[in-house]
Amino acid sequence: MPITLDTPDKLEYNFHPVRSGIFNFKVRSPKDAHLALTSGPAESDPMIEVFIGGWENSKSVIRRNRTKPDVAETPTPGILSAGEFRGFWIRWTDGIITVGREGEVAAFLIWENPQPFAINFVGVCTAWGASGSWIIEDDSPYGGRPAQHGAGGPACWVPSGGGSVPPQAVAGGQDGDTLYVARARHEGALIPGKFVPSHGVTYVAWGGGEHAKSEYEVLCGCSTMWVPVQGDAIPPQAQPAGETEGGEPLFVGRVNHDGAVTIGKVQPSHGTCYISYGGQELAFQSYEVLLITS
């Protein structure tokens, strides 16, 4: 269900968790709709702010760490309305921040952060003589929405880093160490892979290689089962856990290889489970696919 809220004329952000790399929203305000992208649910550096309809609804900007000069700016006269909701989106991937209007593919604001950080929350507020009403969409199916609800509570992808194992993390493999089901962003894709706590990273397979990612998400809070699969025969109850850079859904798979049970990505159009192992991306047509049962 969408989240609805009203914001007063007050520079005080109302924060919401996000994990999908996209934030879709509608806002009704005469001017100055402000958004903050942060790692935690409070104002703290590093922080990226997006001001839509600032300067009396004449321009929009991106600001870093609450300091001037603004890092991106564009004229947007009349972009907001006090009488109707206007829809927008903000996306972030590999440090590139883009802001656009609902229904438009092209962004009207773009900035590449030279020092990317994990964005786990987006705050919203109105100020400078404006109050507003907001409709915030739930996260994308590939982001922080519950993967499935069951008796054990909602399963979800939990942002993590530094090798810490989140509560109720889902174990899925073994290689001298318990491996956990995880995913990470790489080259515009969201890729399922293996979280190795002793290494402090998640490994994903892409482009023939094994890539270590220090920022990742771990699947938590659900019961699972693994179903043997051949080729592209993905069970209909399997849930996507990521997507390629071209938008094809990816699933969680695993294989037995070289004495280890290794978690990787299943790409249905290839009929293949790809794992990262020994610095390489290895392909298997016989594998197991993950199902969330509760």
167, 256: one domain = yes
172, 288: one domain = yes
* C-alpha–C-alpha distance, residues 263 and 171, integer Å: 10
129, 160: one domain = no
Q: Is the pLDDT reported for residue 279 higher than 60? A: yes
**Under 8 Å between Cβ of 109 and 99:** yes
pLDDT value, residue 146: 36
Total domain count, the chain: 2
pLDDT digits (tens, 9 = 90+) for 76-97: 999 999 999 999 999 988 788 9
Answer with the one of 88, 107, 136 that is the final residue of a domain: 136
Q: Is the pLDDT reported for residue 10 higher than 60? A: yes
State mean pLDDT over 107-136: 93
Q: Is residue 232 part of a domain?
A: yes
Closest CA relative to residue 130, chosen from 72, 57, 198, 179: 57
pLDDT value, residue 151: 26
Q: Is residue 275 part of a domain?
A: yes
State mean pLDDT over 248-277: 96
CATH number for position 96: 2.60.120.200
% pLDDT > 70, the chain: 93
163, 286: one domain = yes
Whole-model pTM: value is: 0.52
pLDDT digits (tens, 9 = 90+) for 44-79: 899 999 999 999 999 999 999 999 999 999 999 999
pLDDT value, residue 20: 75
pLDDT value, residue 284: 98
The domain of 94 spans 3-136
104, 230: one domain = no
111, 162: one domain = no
Q: Is residue 143 part of a domain?
A: no
Q: Is residue 113 part of a domain?
A: yes
More confident residue, 21 or 67: 67
232, 182: one domain = yes
Q: Is residue 70 part of a domain?
A: yes
pLDDT digits (tens, 9 = 90+) for 227-237: 999 999 998 88
Output the average pLDDT for the chain. Answer: 89
Q: Is residue 220 part of a domain?
A: yes
pLDDT digits (tens, 9 = 90+) for 185-221: 999 999 999 999 999 999 999 999 999 999 999 998 8
Q: Is the pLDDT reported for residue 286 higher than 60? A: yes
Q: Which helix (H) or strand (E) holds 55?
A: helix 54-57
Query: What tokens appear for 22 in the block?
Result: 């996209």
109, 49: one domain = yes
* C-alpha–C-alpha distance, residues 243 and 246, integer Å: 8
Answer with the one of 136, 165, 187 that is the final residue of a domain: 136
pLDDT value, residue 181: 97
128, 186: one domain = no
11, 124: one domain = yes
* C-alpha–C-alpha distance, residues 236 and 172, integer Å: 20
pLDDT value, residue 150: 29
Query: What tokens appear for 211 in the block?
Result: 């890539």
169, 285: one domain = yes
pLDDT digits (tens, 9 = 90+) for 127-180: 999 999 999 986 543 333 334 332 233 457 888 888 888 888 999 999 999 999
Q: Which helix (H) or strand (E) holds 57?
A: helix 54-57
171, 246: one domain = yes
Q: Is residue 141 part of a domain?
A: no
Q: Is residue 148 part of a domain?
A: no
